[in-house]
Amino acid sequence: MENNTQKANITVLGSFVVDLMSRTPHLPVPGETVLGGPFKLGPGGKGSNQATAAARAGANVVMCTKLGQDEFAKIALDNFTREGINTEHVYQDSRYETGVALIMVDEDAENMIVVAIGANNYITKEEVYQLEGKIAQSQVLLTQLETNIDAVIHAVDIAKAQHVPVILNPAPIQPIPDDLLAKVDILTPNETEAEKLTNMKIKSLEDAKAAGSILLDKGVKNVVITLGKNGALIVNKQKVEHVPAVKVDPVDTTGAGDAFNGGLAVALAEGKDLAKAVEFANYLAALSVTKVGTAPSMPLRKEIDDFMHKTR
Give per-residue pLDDT as tens, 124-179.
999 999 999 999 999 999 999 999 999 999 999 999 999 999 999 999 999 999 99
Distance CA 203, CA 290 (A): 26
Q: How confident is the model at residue 302 (pLDDT cuts 50, 70, 90)?
A: very high
Mean pLDDT, the chain, rounded, equals 94
The 3-state DSSP class for residue 287 equals: helix
pLDDT at residue 292, as a whole number: 78
The 3-state DSSP class for residue 164 equals: coil
Q: How confident is the model at residue 296 (pLDDT cuts 50, 70, 90)?
A: confident
The 3-state DSSP class for residue 12 equals: strand
Whether the pLDDT of residue 312 is over 90: the answer is: no
* Residues forming beta bridges with residue 236, ordered by sequence position: 222
pLDDT in tens, 55-87: 999 999 999 999 999 999 999 999 999 999 999
Whether the pLDDT of residue 113 is over 90: the answer is: no
Residue at 18: amino acid letter? V
Distance CA 170, CA 135 (A): 20
The answer to whether residue 273 is catalytic is: no
Contact 87, 55 (CB under 8 A): no
Q: Concatenate the DSSP letters of all residues of 215-283 into one string.
A: HHHTT-SEEEEE-GGG-EEEEESS-EEEEPPPP---S--TTHHHHHHHHHHHHHHTT--HHHHHHHHHH
pLDDT at residue 5, as a whole number: 52
Contact 297, 255 (CB under 8 A): yes
pLDDT at residue 282, as a whole number: 97
Peptide bond before residue 43 is cis, with ω within 30 degrees of 0? no
Distance CA 148, CA 143 (A): 11
DSSP label of 23: E
Phi-psi region of 271 (alpha: psi -120 to 50; beta: other; left: phi over 0): left
Please enumerate in sequence order all residues whose Cβ is within 8 A of that of 11, keeping only pairs 6 or more positions apart, or say none: 61, 62, 64, 131, 134, 135, 138, 140, 141, 142, 155, 164
The interaxial angle of helices 256-269 and 46-56, nearest 10 deg, is 50
Q: How confident is the model at residue 251 (pLDDT cuts 50, 70, 90)?
A: confident
Q: How confident is the model at residue 110 (pLDDT cuts 50, 70, 90)?
A: confident
Output the 3-class SS for 48-99.
HHHHHHHHHCCCEEEEEEEECCCHHHHHHHHHHHHHCCEEEEEEECCCCCCE
**What's the chain's length in residues?**
312
Of 258, 273, 305, 306, the active-site residue reads 258
In this prediction, residues 289-299 reach a mean pLDDT of 86
The interaxial angle of helices 301-311 and 274-288, nearest 10 deg, is 100
Span 12-311 CATH architecture: 3-Layer(aba) Sandwich (3.40)
